[in-house]
Copies of this chain bind each other. A is one copy, B any other.
Amino acid sequence: MVLDEYLNRYPKLVENYLKDFFESKRKELNDSYILDVFDAIYEYTMRGGKRLRPLLMIVGYKLYGGRNEDEIIKASASIEIVQSYLLIHDDIMDNSDLRRGKPTLHRIFQKNYMDDRTGENLAIIAGDLASMYAYEIFENLDIPADKKLKAILKMTKIIEDTGYGQILDVVSSIRKNFGEDDLFMIHKYKTAKYTIEGPMIMGAILAGSENFDMITNYAIPVGIAFQLQDDILGLFGDEKEIGKPVTSDLEEGKKTLLVLKAMENPKFRNTVEKYMGKKNITMDELNEVRNAVKESGSLEYSYKKLYDLVKGAQNAIMPIDTEEKQFLYEFAEYVIKRRY
């Protein structure tokens, strides 16, 4: 499997470079209050995660003939630091306690300074700083200035689009009229463009390509499918595998395609509504919602969408004849099969 090969090879190399970058950046600083915040960003970034975005940037680069593996690995660290930036701010907005099994940054600072406002303020700044570090990754890349500039401006556009998705997400819980189209718009901006299409295009830009239609035709459906699978795992997954309580999506009142579709059916609407946003949901209550989602045909509906999207994405890459085609094909399969 090319997918496994790449997963074994690249994320590790990206992490090594992230470590180098933060260690060298750290040497520029000496104030202990500043270092506290810096070290928190560093630790947060190194907590792990799948490093899919850097991997997809590397694939986008190779796909268009890029050969300088050292430099693309460094460049790809940028999008992983963007991920830290966005997650740090997301954690504040969602008022989350945990991220990747450890306290969120605002919780860490709130505890250290024994003050909620100060903790949240330092986390806002930490996110802002991380976004600057992402740009600084480009400073020492051995890549021509015009390509770096284009890649930086693409990264900017990715972050901007993710912001639009985040606006829609933030207001979704208080909107009365919120349907399938609105949901797919969020998935497109917050997941498909940000996680799949954006990193691949950045890689393609750094390799010198100027036409990204094929990437878009592959990445948007795969990205939306990725999010649909995320939502399925969030309700039906294994807690140990997904790394968060399987009741948490429901407790957050997250408007997924699963619950939207089930609520369209009058027979199941009340069951689902009753538990949306409820705190401390029991296993019996969870199973009630799971049954409603299954019996209403909503789970099947999500799976059908998911398969169609993945199929469409796989068709889009038919013209490719390099190793990367195999990777992208397998990655699309993985989106369906993954358990976490």
| A residues adjacent to B (C-beta < 8 A) | 29, 31, 33-34, 37, 89, 92-93, 95, 113, 115, 117-118, 121-122, 124-125, 127-129, 131-133, 135-136, 138-139, 145-146, 148-149, 152-153, 156-157, 159-160, 163-164, 166-168, 170-171, 174, 185
Contact = CB atoms under 8 A, between A and B. Distances in A.
A21 to B, nearest CB: 14
Contacts of A163: 125, 128-129, 132
Given A95-B117, A115-B174, A185-B31, A167 B122 contact: yes
Contacts of A146: 145-146
A194 to B, nearest CB: 13
A122 B170 contact: yes
A138 B153 contact: yes
Contact of A89 (B113, B128, B139, B159): B128
- Consensus secondary structure, chain A interface: helix
Given A125-B166, A125-B170, A129-B163, 10 more contacts: A33-B167, A33-B171, A89-B124, A93-B124, A115-B174, A118-B170, A121-B170, A122-B171, A136-B160, A145-B149
Contact of A124 (B92, B160, B164): B92
A170 B109 CA distance: 12
Residue among A37, A89, A146, A170 with max Cβ neighbours from chain B (10 Å): A170
A180 to B, nearest CB: 15
Contacts of A152: 135, 149, 152
Contacts of A157: 132, 136
A133 B132 CA distance: 14
Contacts of A31: 164, 168, 185
Given A145-B146, A152-B149, A174-B113, A124 B124 contact: yes
A114 to B, nearest CB: 8
A163 B156 CA distance: 19
Nearest to A185: B31
A124 to B, nearest CB: 6
A160 B129 CA distance: 6
Contacts of A139: 153
15 contacts: A31-B164, A31-B168, A33-B167, A89-B124, A95-B117, A115-B174, A118-B170, A125-B163, A125-B167, A129-B163, A131-B131, A135-B153, A136-B157, A145-B145, A146-B146
